[in-house]
Amino acid sequence: MGLEMIRKYIHDLFRDMQIVNRSRATELLDFEVMELENIFSLLLFGSFTGMPSPPAHITLQLLPLMRDELKIMFNRISVAHDALAEVVSLLGEP
């Protein structure tokens, strides 16, 4: 009976580790999506930061579709997070 309990304990341990790793991977993917949306917004509306921007008619056509991305960009500007610190904090949590 003792060997069977040890095997079950090890099996449960690996199952729990798998659940934790999946949740961290999901958090990291959510963060990457948020960063890619921010980069896309900066590429389209680069005139805010002094970067060359695409032609005005393309930007105006995409403007209604970019409402959420613009909200994200303005929120990120107001808070000014350090992206590297956020990635490290996601990976470094115990």
Per-residue pLDDT of the chain (94 residues; tens, 9 = 90+): 688 888 898 898 889 888 887 877 788 888 888 888 777 777 777 766 676 767 777 777 877 877 777 777 776 665 555 666 666 666 665 5
Q: Which domain holds residue 77?
A: 2-92
d(CA 33, CA 59): 21
pLDDT value, residue 89: 64
pLDDT value, residue 49: 66
Q: Is the C-alpha dihedral spanning 17, 22, 26, 31 positive or negative?
A: positive
Q: What would the two tokens of residue 67 be?
A: 């409402």
pTM: 0.46
Q: Report the domain count for the chain.
A: 1
pLDDT value, residue 2: 82
